[in-house]
Amino acid sequence: MKAYDRLEITIGRDLLINGDPPVTDLQLDQAEARFLDNWEAPSMCEYCGAPIQEQFWGREVDENWEIWDGNKWAILINCENCRFWEWYRRDCIPSNLGHPDENHLQCASKLRAFEGDLPDVINWELAQYLRRRPNAWCRFTPAGLEQVVADILRANYREAEVIHVGRPGDGGVDVLLIDSGGPTWLVQVKRRSKPESVESVETLRNLLGAIVLHGTLHGLVVSTADRFSTRTRAAVTTARQFGYEIRLADRGVLERMLDPVLPELAWLDVMKHLDPEAAAGFAPDQVELPPSGRDTSYVGAQLSLWDSDNAVVPTERSVLGRST
């Protein structure tokens, strides 16, 4: 299944959903409601509520944005938090009939759903899911969360060596972060089953004990709790007076640390495939076009790219229907 939905009207054809005509009236209604002039870019992300970034790109657009021969324009929306994206492109191809033929194309990313326990390996789809559902951190198994935290630390500290050591009897240490040319950090990972929980000072005391036994000075507590208790923060200050450097990472910090796991321009690959010219318009640093002027490669690409079995159903993965 593709990770996005595609709606289009090509010259002389009806509306197509992922390359095929709609099968049911519901599909047609959903597609028409979402498509073309009905589409207005939302100001907030429908999945995570973060502000939406909107960009416009156009070639030879007249000042009223009217459609005429040779015009081509596109709108791109992008959520910088969960990386949901959607774009719409209208292309007017000169014809001999006195009015231009129009190609319409609209694509929207679909966000993957995860059922039950979350996987113990982080990838960008899981990171996207966590950005959209902050409460889902409690759906890792405790051991799985340790591995995921190790992955997240690796992504954030590429110069450091990160080792998952969490086994029973490891004395409160789950992960080691060995800073290149610097200190070794002992990391304790706590998965709290309730999202609103507060991480108590006991966890920090355990870690401080482990730090003393390991003969190091640096520790990190990672917790899926909403925050650390006031006593914990006070204890960090006290420990600092004795030379111990302790960092605390609650769920909000963990969420921010997902940034390196997420694609910076999540929409780019699909757009580059379907309309390189528009992709170059939105991301000139990322896409190089041959200097031949007008690019028409997307016209051919529209006909051959699609999975015919990619039926649109109103599931979480489907943008049409918006069932989540």
**52 vs 210 by CB, closer to Zn ion:** 52
| Whole-number Å distance between alpha carbons of 244 and 211 | 9
Residue 59 and residue 43 in contact, taking contact as beta carbons nearer than 8 Å: no
We find the least distance from the C-beta atom of residue 60 to Zn ion, in angstroms, to be 33
Which residues in 70-89 contact Zn ion (CB under 5 A)?
79, 81-82, 84
We find the least distance from the C-beta atom of residue 84 to Zn ion, in angstroms, to be 5
**114 vs 306 by CB, closer to Zn ion:** 114
Q: Is 297 helix (H, G, I), strand (E, B) or coil?
A: helix
The span of 41-49, 226-234, 261-269, 272-280 binding Zn ion (CB under 5 A) equals 41-49
**81 vs 103 by CB, closer to Zn ion:** 81
305 Rama sector, left if φ>0, alpha if ψ -120 to 50, beta otherwise: alpha
Q: Is residue 282 a contact point for Zn ion (CB under 5 A)?
A: no
**80 vs 101 by CB, closer to Zn ion:** 80
Residue 97 in tokens: 């009939």
**4 vs 244 by CB, closer to Zn ion:** 4
What is the amino acid identity at position 80?
Answer: E
**114 vs 157 by CB, closer to Zn ion:** 114
The span of 11-19, 38-46, 178-186, 212-220 binding Zn ion (CB under 5 A) equals 38-46
Task: For the beta carbon of residue 294, count every other beta carbon within 10 angstroms.
Answer: 10
Q: Which residues contact 253 (CB under 8 A, 6 or more apart)?
A: none
Phi, psi of 199 (to 5 degrees): -80, 125
Among residues 17, 45, 108, 208, the one that binds Zn ion under rule CB under 5 A: 45
Q: Is 280 helix (H, G, I), strand (E, B) or coil?
A: helix
The span of 10-18, 40-48, 188-196, 221-229 binding Zn ion (CB under 5 A) equals 40-48
Among residues 15, 41, 48, 301, the one that binds Zn ion under rule CB under 5 A: 48
**229 vs 324 by CB, closer to Zn ion:** 324
Sheet of strand 161-164, all strands in order from the earlier edge strand to the far edge: 161-164, 175-178, 184-190, 218-223, 245-249
**35 vs 47 by CB, closer to Zn ion:** 47
Residue 109 and residue 3 in contact, taking contact as beta carbons nearer than 8 Å: yes
| Whole-number Å distance between alpha carbons of 246 and 208 | 9
CA-wise closest residue to 195 among 130, 148, 135: 135
We find the least distance from the C-beta atom of residue 114 to Zn ion, in angstroms, to be 16
Among residues 4, 35, 47, 85, the one that binds Zn ion under rule CB under 5 A: 47
We find the least distance from the C-beta atom of residue 252 to Zn ion, in angstroms, to be 16
Radius of gyration of the chain (CA): 25
| Whole-number Å distance between alpha carbons of 312 and 130 | 24
We find the least distance from the C-beta atom of residue 30 to Zn ion, in angstroms, to be 21
We find the least distance from the C-beta atom of residue 135 to Zn ion, in angstroms, to be 15
Q: How many residues bind Zn ion (CB under 5 A)?
A: 8
Q: Which residues contact 127 (CB under 8 A, 6 or more apart)?
A: 258, 261, 262
We find the least distance from the C-beta atom of residue 251 to Zn ion, in angstroms, to be 17
We find the least distance from the C-beta atom of residue 224 to Zn ion, in angstroms, to be 20
By the criterion CB under 5 A, which residues form the site for Zn ion? 45, 47-48, 50, 79, 81-82, 84
